Structure 1
Amino acid sequence: MVSAYEDDVRQALLQPAAAALLSSQSLCSNKHEGSDELERILSDTEMPVVQRYSHATWIEIKLLFYLAAPAVFVYMINYAMSTSTQIFSGHLGNLELAASSLGNNGIQVFAYGLMLGMGSAVETLCGQAYGAEKYDMLGIYLQRSAILLTLTGVVLTIPYIFCKPILLFLGESKDIASASEIFVYGLVPQIYAYALNFPIQKFLQAQSIVFPSAFISAGTLVVHVVLSWLAAYKMGLGLLGVSLVLSLSWWVIVVGQLVYIVKSESCKKTWRGFNVQAFSGLFGFFKLSAASAVMLCLETWYFQILVLLAGLLDNPELALDSLSICTTIFGWVYMISVGFNAAASVRVSNELGSGNPKSAAFSVAVVVAISSIVSVSCAVLVLALRNVISYVFTDGAAVASAVSDLCPLLSLTLLLNGIQPVLTGVAVGCGWQAFVAYVNVGCYYIVGVPLGALLGFYFKFGAKGIWIGLMGGTFMQTVILVWVTWRTDWNKEVEEALKRLNKWDDNKQIVE
């Protein structure tokens, strides 16, 4: 039974306008019912503590699994499409492999991080609006984000077009720069697929609609592999062919999700067609999107800097080979953490929008615990296979020894990434993107990168020193996010979520 005090707190939080909103005609799905049941159980002080939290944990695990499992699958599929493109390019020749690696891990990753980061503004607003049952606003947020990301895509097209002189300026050889230019030209359509895909993806995730995206992505991967094989080996289209296939595959995903949104009954309440209201309040939306982009890009670029620094060491080939293997392993495990990141963001934003502070706080605790268990398992597996894991990638004994030497640091990094991405997801769910962006600047680029350079070059620790420095920045960021999350007043976050939604309803600019 909810105490009179707790009931008074709830009524104080749900201001008249928000209370009217939440008491309107019920549009609740099963997810809302599960969420409301979770809040009821956590508020029932007459229930024994063990029984209360065991029931609450079971409900939360079911809600998280429904979100996290398909999200992990989708991110894995997206990662696999880029990886398979590099594999097909590599079989065309060493130059083609270098060109596709540079295009994918340099130019393309920059656009991917920027677009995904800007798209997380939809994750915050759509998640909170869905929790507050303001279903008609989700489609408008989707359209606003798509407009902003498309305009951003126009700007990003410029470095794509002039990638060759940019790569030459950065010191790449003329042959690799010329080949990369051909590959990158084929990725230009992918920019605009990103501009639509990420808002659509977050729009669906906010409603706990995750399986359609997983099925569409899985089917697209099959088509992608077949078309890449045809383009590379049967049609003789070379680098341009495989990169165009990658762009086409992303557009297949976008079109498939759009068809689902328009035709499915699940989105009937949230998608009302195109609305001119999407063009209002763009500047406020841009502020949140820009903060989201900076937050995520600073994280995405962090490990790219590790690879760049390794290329300046005394034995760059060995350092790059060992770090490349370790960062690839890290990338696959990181996709699991990104799935939990998405789940945490959706759960927290939904609960805040629903006015459920206890459920929001409990969701954070459960998702951090589950993600940490998964990361510990992966870290132990990496340590157990440290002496043989590199032979999946290469037969070199020297590389195997270098990778084995780095595996303890890789394992510690995996442990940190059982917590850090999840807390970043919590930040997105709460709308803290600007704050986290400042934290990332300080921890990553004022502490992590200089410390890594100092240990790697001045103290001659090589690749291990660079990794220790960057891991130090990640550790500092994790400690700050843990402290901030632990000290969070979730009742106040509910108030902030409702204020944010009311301001967007009035077509005012969001204030962060």
Structure 2
Amino acid sequence: MESVQDNNLNQPLVQSKRPVGEVVSSELEEALSDTSLSSSSRLRLATWIELKILFKLAAPAIIVYLLNNVISMSTQIFCGHLGNLELAASSLANNGIQLLAYGVMLGMGSAVETLCGQAYGAHKYDMLGIYMQRSTILLMATGIPLMFIYIFSKPILILLGESKSVASASALFVYGLIPQIFAYAANFPIQKFLQAQSIVNPSAYISGAALVVHLFLTWLVLYKFGWGLLGAALVLSFSWWIIVIAQFVYILTKCKKTWNGFSIRAFHGLWDFLKLSTASAVMLCLETWYFQILVLVAGNLPNPEIALDSLAICSTILSWVFMIAVGFNAAASVRVSNELGAGHPKSAAFAVVVVTVSSTIISIIFAILTMVLRHQISYAFTGGSAVADAVSDLAPVLAISLVLNGIQPVLSGVAVGCGWQAFVAYVNVGCYYVVGIPLGTVLGFTFNLGAKGIWSGMLGGTLMQTIILLWVTIRTDWNKEVEIAQSRLSRWEERKEEKLLNE
């Protein structure tokens, strides 16, 4: 796991924003160490400094993730108004099958973050395009076996215990998502290529425009042409290709320094790049698949349509709010790695407190809104009163999940900044797959608690993981983490120079 740790210690924002970061980091460290100020004055000054840094980092990431998530969520909403079966099918396809490809592609694409960031920091601008192409080649190749999973999704879902009606409808939707696999394969390397140069706003603008087009085309295909689930899925795939093509056009027109055209060099060193990409995907996939299993297990309950519909609505809300936590996750990893690399243990520790408290406050607000609107939430997705009652029953579990998801991703970001990926991977396996899933299965089926029991048990796994990460973070010796981080960075710097020279 050393390669994964090294990979995440050098986040692109740290690389490309280093001169600015050093100035701000010194200001924060000085504020925390200024004994001429009272404790309350130091706290207010340091909090103001850190909040400005935090939200400049988190806001762009939140916007991009939210817009991309809304594109998928809007498709489920449109399908939900066609009927309960259509909502169940689209949610099972999106949350059960599509997340498999999303997790694998996003995880593997994360390798580009470090490599492009290193090349950009070393002024090896021509290497950014090579790394992006190399990652795209590997992700496109990975998309082929994933495509066969999509093609045979119906028998796979039936084998997993889904009803034939839901499996057939879901498979129809999944067939339309096959082009989306390869859109992911192109999108994530492009996205990381741009982020390595701190180019974030264009991606947000493109995602916003794609959402507008997507909403119009989905309405047209479903309500004017009557193409049903397959048409809705094809529009979703098309919308992702709009994002890919628009971002690539931006690269061709604006990134003259870092894009020098297609090169045969992209096919060199693919094996080492594959190992790095695979390692980068492990931690993310363990977490992504956990919630995917929640939907799949619920499909085996009596009256699976109502169970899946209610879980789909709650999962969609959870994933939407989760995008905010993902932005704070990115900010946490950047802030911690930045401060540790700069040799500022006080700033690193303080950044952890500020980002965790900020994310938790926001998640609590959403949890309260969920409880207040528990009887009305489902009507944004479907009109059935049975589904509304089921969602209302799940609302307390959803509210608790929202709060935990305001804390857990931030702590994972701290772990990435410190280089604890191997440890967190083991924690994820134990808490999610040894405790959470078996406990949820027992509560849901043995004790006949249904969807609420399944989710409650799996929520127990998330709670256990959060407590472990929180305990480890509280007990962290930040002076020691500074020494470890600087030692790793020195070793990686030597490897980076050697690799760049070899290229």
TM class, shorter-chain normalised? 0.7 to 0.9
- AA of the residue aligned to 1:196: A
Change (3 A) 1:407 1:195: same
* CA-to-aligned-CA distance 1:123-166 (integer Å, 9 cap, x gap): 45555666787766544443332232122112212212233333
Q: What does residue range 438-477 of structure 1 map to in structure 2 within 5 Å?
A: 438-477=426-465
Check the 8 A contact 2:432/2:462 in 1, yes or no. Answer: yes
Q: Which residue of 1 aligns with 2:281?
A: 293
Q: Does 1:407 align with 2:399?
A: no
Q: Which amino acid in 1 is paired with 2:315? A: T
| Corresponding residue number in structure 1 for 2:372 | 384
Cα distance, 1:191 vs structure 2: 1.1
SS of the aligned residue for 1:419 comes to helix
Q: Deviations over 1:373-398 (max 9, x none)?
A: 11121122223333444444456566
- The AA in structure 1 aligned to 2:469 is L
The amino acid that maps onto 1:35 is G
- Tell me which residue corresponds to 1:416: 404
1:337 has 2:288 as partner: no
Q: 1:354 to 1:213 in 2, by over 3 A?
A: farther
Q: CA deviation at 1:443?
A: 0.8
The amino acid across from 2:63 in the alignment is: F
**2:231 paired residue among 206, 227, 241:** 241
Does residue 1:100 correspond to 2:90, yes or no? yes
Q: Quick one: distance in 1 between partners of 2:345 and 2:264?
A: 34
Q: Which moved more, 1:421-430 or 1:215-224?
A: 421-430
The one of 217, 224, 247 aligned to 2:207 = 217
Structure 1 match to 2:415: 427
Please state how far the C-alpha of 1:347 moved relative to its aligned partner.
Answer: 3.8
Aligned residues: 479
2:54 alignment partner in structure 1: 64
Q: CA deviation at 1:182?
A: 3.9
Contact 2:163–2:299 (CA<8 Å) still a contact in 1?
no
Residues 1:365 and 2:353 aligned together: yes
C-alpha deviation, 1:190, in angstroms: 1.3
Kindly indicate whether the alpha-carbon contact (under 8 Å) linking 1:356 and 1:494 is maintained by their aligned counterparts in 2. no
Q: Structure 1 residue 32 and structure 2 residue 32: aligned? A: no
Q: Does 1:499 align with 2:491?
A: yes
Q: Do the aligned residues in 2 keep the contact of 1:128 with 1:354 (CA within 8 Å)?
A: no
Aligned with 2:298 (options 310, 315, 320): 310
2:157 is aligned with 1:167: yes
* Counterpart-to-counterpart distance in 1, 2:426 and 2:338: 25
Letter in 1 for 2:191: Q
Q: Secondary structure at the match of 1:418?
A: helix
| Distance verdict in 2 for CA 1:345–1:199, change over 3 Å | farther
Decide whether aligned partners of structure 1 residues 91 and 409 sit closer, same or farther in structure 2, where only a CA change above 3 A counts: closer
| Alignment-mate amino acid for residue 358 of structure 2 | I
In 2, Cα distance between equivalents of 1:389 and 1:92:
18
- Structure 2 unaligned regions, length at least 5: 1-13
When structure 1 is superposed on structure 2, of 105-114 and 58-67 the one drifting more is 58-67
Seen in structure 2, the aligned counterparts of structure 1 residues 52 and 126 have a Cα distance that, compared at 3 Å, is farther
Equivalent in the alignment of 1:16? none
Work out the CA distance in 2 between the residues paired with 1:143 and 1:322: 41
Task: Give the secondary-structure state (helix, strand or coil) at the position aligned to 1:506.
Answer: helix
Distance 1:28 1:320 in 2: 44
CA distance in structure 1 between the aligned counterparts of 2:217 and 2:120, rounded to whole angstroms: 38
- 1:95-244 equivalences in 2 (<5 Å): 96-126=86-116, 138-174=128-164, 176-244=166-234
Provide the C-alpha distance between the structure 2 equivalents of 1:137 and 1:501, rounded to a whole number of angstroms.
16
Between the aligned partners of 2:261 and 2:48, the Cα distance in structure 1 is 37
Moved more, 341-350 or 242-251: 341-350
Q: Provide the alpha-carbon RMSD of the alignment.
A: 3.3
Percent of matched pairs sharing the same residue: 65
Maintained 8 Å contact 1:64/1:367: yes
**Structure-2 change in CA distance of 1:180 and 1:457 (3 Å):** closer
62-71 vs 351-360, which moves further: 351-360
* Cα distance per residue 1:88-137 (max 9 Å; x no partner): 44555665544433332222121111111222233455556667877665
Aligned residue number for residue 13 of structure 1? none
CA distance in 2, matches of 1:500, 1:437: 22
- Given that residues 455 and 469 in structure 1 are in contact (C-alpha distance below 8 angstroms), is that contact kept between their aligned partners in structure 2? yes
The structural deviation recorded for 1:323 is 3.0
Cα pair 1:133 1:354 within 8 Å, conserved:
no
Question: Is the 8 Å Cα contact of residues 328 and 355 (structure 2) preserved in structure 1?
Answer: yes
Alpha carbons of 1:79 and 1:427: their partners in 2 closer, same or farther (altered >3 Å)? same
- Which secondary structure does the structure 1 equivalent of 2:406 belong to? coil
What TM-score, normalized to structure 2?
A: 0.83
Q: CA deviation at 1:249?
A: 1.3
Mind listing any 5+ residue stretches in structure 1 that lack a counterpart? 1-26
Contact 2:116–2:127, Cα closer than 8 Å, also in 1: yes
**Alignment CA distance shift 1:236-1:498 (3 Å):** farther
Structure 2 residue matching 1:209: 3-state secondary structure? coil
Could you tell me how far 1:280 is from its partner in structure 2? 4.4
TM-score, normalising length from structure 1? 0.81
